[in-house]
Amino acid sequence: MEMNFDGLNWLAIIVCVIVGQAFLTLWFLVLFGEPWAKAYGATDKKAHAKEVPGYTYAIGLVCMIVLTIGLAGLQRGLAVASLGDGLELGLFVAISFCIATALPGYAFLRRWSAFFLAIGAQAVLILILSAILSVWR
């Protein structure tokens, strides 16, 4: 197998990174900010935000870039040609990679509410990114 990044749609990747970051901000701050903070033992989302080191946002951005490029490369390699194909691949990746690798850590820590919030965000994020990449080839 040869990894060739020449055929990737870099504009679509940049848009996906921006959309993905906006989605996660909406998910973890607006929609589920309070439950997320409480899942980590904070009294509220404001207190939780003070506990989060600034560098974690940079790590999140780098991970978003890696995830998006990985999905784009996977779609290219599998010749994903439609929105349906993109959603099917996104669902497959969300279940077989995202959930399967995150569940053991959260189970070990017994942070079930954090697991459902985090995995929900990651699964929906992967579906969104895969959908965008599949229609914007």
- The structural domain count of the chain equals 1
Angle of CA points 30, 34, 38, to nearest 5°: 150
Residues in CB range of 37: below 8 A, 6 or more apart: 43, 44, 45, 47, 48, 49
Q: Establish if 73 belongs to a structural domain.
A: yes
What's the pLDDT at 123?
95
What is the share, in percent, of the chain residues with pLDDT greater than 70? Answer: 98
Look at residue 96 and tell me if it is in a domain: yes
Q: Is residue 3 part of a domain?
A: no
In a domain, 5, yes or no: no
**Model's pTM, two decimal places?**
0.90
CB 57 within 8 A of CB 105: no
Residue 1 lies in a domain: no
Which domain, by its residues, includes 112?
10-135
On whether residue 2 sits in a domain, the answer given is: no
Question: What are the tens digits of pLDDT across the range 49-97?
Answer: 888 888 989 999 999 999 999 999 999 999 999 999 999 999 999 999 9
